[in-house]
Every structure is written in C-alpha cells, then in structure tokens.
Amino acid sequence: MQQYYPYFLAAHIIFVITWFAALFYIVRLYIYHTEALEKQEPERSILAAQFTIMEQRLMAIIGTPSMILVVITGVSLLSIQSQFLKEPWLHTKLLFVIGVIVYHLACLRIQKQLREGIAKNSSTKLRMFNEVATVLLVAIVFLVVLKDLVDMLYGLLGLIALSFSMLVAIRIYKRRREKR
C-alpha cells in the first residue's frame, strides 16, 4: 500500500482545495442571499430563488462530496502511515478537521434557513463567519507543514493575530458600506 501513498496524498490535497473553495464561496452566497431578502418584491423573490438554486448546487455537487472525499482519502493516508497517529500535531490537526466538518454542517443549516426565507444572521455576522474557514485552513496548513508543538504555538499565535486583523478589516468594510 505504501506505493499508493503519493496518489492518496495528491487526491487528498485536491479535495481539500475543492472543499474549501466551496466553503469560501457558499458563505458569500449566503451574504448576498441575506441582503436580497431585505429588498422589495419582485426583486426579493427573484434573487432569493436564484441564490437558493446556486447554494443547493454548490453544496450538493462540490461541497459535500469534497468533504466526504477528504475524509476517505485522509483515512486512507492514515491507514498507510499509521505511525502519524502517535504524533501530537496530528491529534490537533484532526480536531481542526472536526471543526471544519462542524462548520460545513453549520453552513448547511444556514442554507436550509435561507431556503425557507429566514435570515437569522446579518450579512455582517456572515462575513465574520466566513473568516472561520480561513482561520481553520491556516491552522491546519501550519500544523501539517510545521509538525512541531513549539512552532505550532507560534503558528497559533499568528492565527490569533490573523483572526483579529480580519475582524478589524470586516468592521472597517462595514463602516465604508454604511457611508455609501
């Protein structure tokens, strides 16, 4: 099985990329969908119907299948290189992966609410929520590349700084939009 490791690794990376592309884009669609629900008829109904179709197709065709394939290829990689299961960095990475799966499920819940015409989150909250995927991706990449607890700590501190910077940028963007 060892000879197949590079193929599973390549597939795993490809599916991680497609999964995160879907996660980044889906929340942008939720933002636009939420803003469409604030418009007057008939624009509201037309836009909401179009966003519902786009959201459903994105998650059904790209997002959820990619997530499933990430898990399958990840399990395959661990079955081939089971010694990684003893590494603390991998345990932490797997916690972040569980976080991404929970994030994905939260996206599906938001999608269902929007399909029913319910916008429980403002577009600003959704913009902040959109950055969660970025933070998780950065954490996972740092853990995989560095594989060291001290470096991981520096990476996590950098992650906190990145998160704070993104929060400030979102607030600045919101103020600019409100001025227009």
Longest CA pairwise span in the chain (Å)? 60
Domain membership of residue 14 as a residue range: 2-179
Decide: 143 and 92 in contact? Cβ < 8 Å. yes
Total number of domains constituting the chain: 1
pTM across the whole model: 0.87
Q: Give the whole-angstrom CA distance, residue 18 versus residue 23.
A: 9
Chain segment 21-38, per-residue pLDDT in tens: 999 999 999 999 999 999
Q: State yes or no: cis peptide before 88, omega within 30 of 0.
A: no
Closest CA to 49 of 65, 69, 29: 29
Chain segment 53-111, per-residue pLDDT in tens: 999 999 999 999 999 999 999 999 999 999 999 998 899 899 999 999 999 999 999 99
Q: Give the whole-angstrom CA distance, residue 161 versus residue 31.
A: 25
